[in-house]
Amino acid sequence: MAKRKRRESFGAIRKLPSGRIQASYVGPDGERHNAPQTFDTLTDARGWLVGQQAQILSGEWSRGVTELAEQSKRGRTATFAEYAEGWISTRTNRHGEHLRPRTAAEYRRLVAGPLLPFAGLRLSAITSEGVRNWYSGLVKSGTKTQAARSYELLKSILTTAVADGRIKINPCQVRGAASASTGRKVTPPTSAELQKIIDTITPRFKAAVVMAAWSGVRYGELTELRRKDIDVLESDNGEKAVVVNVSRGVTQVTGQGFVVGPTKSEAGVRSIVLPPHVNDIVIAHLRDHVAAGPESLLFPATDGAGHLGQSAFYRHWNPARVAAKRPDLPWHGLRHYGATKAAVAGATLKELQARLGHSTVVAAMRYQHTAGRDEELARRMSELA
């Protein structure tokens, strides 16, 4: 039990059960401030109080500097897990928006999983050597992409800790760690493979495959599309155009279910015109598989109510891709297919960026598969020979 505070001409001093000396004072702000460390002797504690009193009398005392010193002390006692939870709960993007539910859930999964070795450590106890050894071990275990994501999160959290004054330097100093990847590339399906998938998949999902392949919508965008989001336009000569209007997406969050929100970025709000050769499939789907109301989902769950989860959909997707002899093809591969076809058709990077809903040209470039483009260019060169 700590002994009662000693009366001092300024501030207060008490001896802790450990034998260390704690000093504190009430500042000009009316709040009690503790010394950022304990002391060996009464003389040292009184010396610190004299310094604080001198700053107050000279007008040099600053609440901000004082709080920074106190936060630095807390950094030696707060655990990484505690600080990380606060970081996730209060994190905002450049638009001042809090993390989306699925992003927050993913960060918590990483903190409780790959970053667990740091969970019980004080922030100040996390060292560059410890981070380097942890990262190396994670990469050796074969989880290179997850290691990169975990490292990036750890670095971001500790960058904020530096700004908060909790630690002096960020111990995350592994060069290139945040950008590491498995190196595996998604190979889009060939036209023949795509047609086999369309012919094989459960009929009510043919339009889903077509729209994903030719519009490049993400799974969460596709499964939140409603009747009101599809415009079927007809020209004076009877030609039809199907426009997919993307303005929302849905994510499935553990413990929360399906959460509908804005698209992945502002650029994600877009209108995409489908190529004419797939119009009939989409129009037939609207007629045969979608309820009449404007809010009716294009691809609802099997029972017709609520959103379609990926695990439920994969019971239909997997047999179709196996039939096409592409068991390796992820659903995201259809997005690659659409991007590649648009590039081969002559879409500029800006046009490709707009069609895919990317906020930067660099992101759009990832979806250009140069083999297909080079083949098309070679064909055109031959025509000029």
**126-143 pLDDT per residue, tens:** 999 999 999 999 888 877
Give the mean model confidence (pLDDT) for residues 42-71.
78
d(CA 160, CA 180): 22
The DSSP call for residue 359 is: S
> Which of 16-25, 189-198, 330-339, 364-373 is least confident?
364-373
Domain ranges of the chain: 6-74, 80-179, 191-384
User: How many residues are there in the chain?
Assistant: 385
Mean of pLDDT over the chain: 83
- The yes-or-no answer on residue 33 being catalytic is no
User: Can you give the pLDDT at residue 1?
Assistant: 46
Question: What are the pLDDT digits (tens) for 17-26?
Answer: 778 888 888 8
Q: Which three-class secondary structure state does DSSP give residue 114?
A: coil
**The one catalytic residue among 218, 285, 307, 321:** 218
User: Can you give the pLDDT at residue 370?
Assistant: 45
- The yes-or-no answer on residue 151 being catalytic is no
Residue 252: which H helix or E strand, with range?
A: strand 248-253
Residue 371: which H helix or E strand, with range?
A: helix 370-384
pLDDT at 228 over 90: yes
- The yes-or-no answer on residue 307 being catalytic is no
pLDDT at 297 over 90: yes
d(CA 376, CA 369): 12
d(CA 219, CA 335): 9
Q: Which three-class secondary structure state does DSSP give residue 27?
A: coil
User: Can you give the pLDDT at residue 210?
Assistant: 95
**The one catalytic residue among 270, 335, 355, 369:** 335
Question: What are the pLDDT digits (tens) for 91-123?
Answer: 887 667 788 888 888 899 999 999 999 998 988
Residue whose structure tokens are 């050597």 = 129
Residue 234: which H helix or E strand, with range?
A: strand 230-234
The CATH number given to 6-74 is: 3.30.730
E runs forming strands in the chain: 6-7, 12-15, 21-26, 32-34, 230-234, 240-246, 248-253, 257-262, 270-273
User: Can you give the pLDDT at residue 314?
Assistant: 93
Report how far apart, in Å, the C-alpha atoms of 232 and of each of 161, 286, 289 are: 52, 10, 16
Q: What type of residue is 89? A: S
d(CA 74, CA 173): 23
CATH architecture for segment(s) 191-384: Orthogonal Bundle (1.10)
Q: Which residues contact 329 (CB under 8 A, 6 or more apart)?
A: 187, 189, 193, 321
Token pair listed for 294: 């404007």
d(CA 267, CA 262): 11
At the top level of CATH, the class of 80-179 is mainly alpha
Q: Which residues contact 77 (CB under 8 A, 6 or more apart)?
A: 122
pLDDT at 366 over 80: no
- The yes-or-no answer on residue 358 being catalytic is yes
**The one catalytic residue among 270, 289, 321, 358:** 358
pLDDT at 178 over 80: no
Query: How far, rounded to the nearest angstrom, does the alpha carbon of residue 240 sit from its chain's CA centroid?
Result: 38
Q: What type of residue is 244? A: V
**The one catalytic residue among 132, 227, 332, 373:** 332
- The yes-or-no answer on residue 218 being catalytic is yes
